[in-house]
Amino acid sequence: MPGDVTLSPLGGLGEIGMNCMLISSGDHAVMVDCGLMFPEDYLFGVDVVIPRFDHVLAHKERLRAIILTHGHEDHIGALPWLLPYVDVPIYGSPFTLALVAKKLEEHNLLKSADLRPVQKNDRVEIGPLAFNFFQVSHSIVHSYGLGIETPAGRIVHTGDFKIDRYPLDGHQTDLDAFQAFSDPGVLCMLSDSTNVERDGFALTEMEIKRSLGEIFRTATGRIIVTLFSSHIQRMQEIFDLAHDTGKRVAVSGRSLATNIELARDLGYLRMPPSVFAALEEFPGLPPEKAVLLVTGSQGEPLSALSRLADGDHRQIRVQPGDLVLMSSRFIPGNIRAIHKLIDKLYRQGAEVIYESVQGIHASGHAHCEELAIMLNTVRPKFFIPVHGEYRHLVKHRRLALEHGVTPERGIILEDGQPITFLAQGGIRLEEPILVEQVYVDGKGVGDVGQTVLKERQLLAGDGMVVVLLVLDEKTGEIILGPNLISKGFVFEQQFSHVLEDAKCIILDTLDAAAPGNPDKLKERIRSSLRKFFRKVLDRDPVVVSLVISL
């Protein structure tokens, strides 16, 4: 009906990442964020995971704009897979759009993109919807929460936020703006749930800078700092501390260098020329004057920090006495890789400091007390937790109930479950829409499904054995083979006796098979070898049998 407003979550409700929400009223729809998610370990070969956009594309004439809350990959990363099919303006902060432009340029999509920068407290009307942009503090500069005016009532979308009690350089959450927007009454609030399990308040950037400052003043060797390449505020703290302690800073890592250049050009990063050092200069700097910013906070194999830990970096070697600061959160899926990286750095003689050892990182997501402050500021009628795994959504709803939301109005949605706020009051759950994770592997989008992943898991588990056998079509005699090639199964030199025995199994199978049916022979060879390998080695490799008749 006219005046109804529907929220359709396409991602981000039930997982960390892939944030994407469709807000629609009448013949107008607006997408809030368009993020990706990085693959779990079991998704062999998958590069990124994106939402399924079938629902959007089926009604793409209704899509009028994309609104971006900030520039993290889990909020902007899926744009290159949507924009070839839709032509709508994209609104976001100047820094967010600078990151988007860089991404679209890599995919040859920048020329056709309509990027429209907005400043804090701007208001953008899109049909019956109006979006107000409120500054929030997060681990990337120029992040926004949204105050959305709709025919059914006002909606607040917090975006990713925290409430920094002692903000530096004006990086604060504008609670006054949220309150002013909320005073007439808020129909519904959508709020970041990521850190609902953490009590109290997140550490402030002032506390982080104080802790880093003590390290900078007392360190006698080189300092190597790794952090998220989008955390411009933390980088500013590093440059400020280097300036204050007479040190110089070099940078290694393409994403870091790119984001530093973007932030500096937009005026978000102050870098005194005397502080910056070219990477080639770093090895020659006095150890007590040398600071190196590197990528690799999550243990990424090809990152600058990983290459340092492996001794593969072109210009720099880790030295005894180096101090490595991991000023970032350990993302759960990366913990094992990070721990291995730390061990390698210790083997090289470095000392490593990270979040659980010393306060050198503050989360960009609100802890429980901060979430309560936002609830008390907005005072919504309905509450929908977003941006979290399912347990986070449940616990955030419980918190909302403790702060005035009635049980029937605290609603947990999952991806693909639209909810409509009726113009005359009340809500209606709509029929679920098709949403699922779409796997991107190279240039292939969605062609890697469960069957392919299962095959990759089998290959990763026990490897593969390829059998090559060439037969005379008329006589059935062997012209070539049988040859066996092991890939990820056994080391052929060490287990040559096993492979020789396997060749005997193939010959026995060939003798027992009826001539003239190569397909049946292939299946018998495959079955016989699998039984043999299970019996001898307790392994079950993928067996590919190539039988060619000439």
485 lies in the same domain as 430: no
Structure tokens at 400: 């909302």
pLDDT of residue 410: 97
Structure tokens at 263: 């932030």
Model confidence pLDDT, tens digit, residues 108-128: 999 999 999 999 999 999 999
Domain boundary, last residue among 440, 467, 482: 440
Domain boundary, last residue among 354, 379, 413: 354
Chain center to CA of 386: 16
DSSP 22-44: EEEETTEEEEE----BPPPTTST
This prediction's pTM: 0.83
pLDDT of residue 493: 65
CB burial of 484-521 (b: ≥16 within 10 Å; e: otherwise) equals bebeebbeeeebeebbeebbebbeebbeebeeeebeeb
Domain boundary, last residue among 354, 373, 391: 354
350 lies in the same domain as 312: yes
Model confidence pLDDT, tens digit, residues 337-367: 899 999 999 999 999 998 766 778 888 999 9
Pairwise pLDDT comparison (362 vs 241), residue with the higher score: 241
Residue 445 in domain: no
**Which whole number is the average pLDDT over 209-213?**
93
Contact (Cβ atoms closer than 8 angstroms) between residue 44 and residue 460: yes
Has residue 411 got a pLDDT over 60?
yes
189 lies in the same domain as 295: no
Residues near 500 by Cβ (< 8 Å), separated by ≥ 6? none
Domain with 529 in it: what CATH number?
Answer: 3.10.20.580
Contact (Cβ atoms closer than 8 angstroms) between residue 23 and residue 32: yes
162 lies in the same domain as 50: yes
335 lies in the same domain as 380: no
Considering its fold, how many domains does the chain have in total?
Answer: 3
26 lies in the same domain as 57: yes
Residue 176 to residues 156, 367, 369, Cα–Cα distance (Å): 14, 20, 18
Residue 305 in domain: yes
Q: Which domain holds residue 485?
A: 450-549
342 lies in the same domain as 387: no
Residues near 443 by Cβ (< 8 Å), separated by ≥ 6? none
Active site (catalytic) residues: 192, 365
SS3 helix, strand, coil % of the chain, rounded to 5? 35, 25, 40
SS3 of 206-232: HHHHHHHHHHHHHCCCCEEEECCCCCH
Residue 142 in domain: yes
Q: Which of 306, 314, 292 is nearest to 341 (CA)?
A: 306
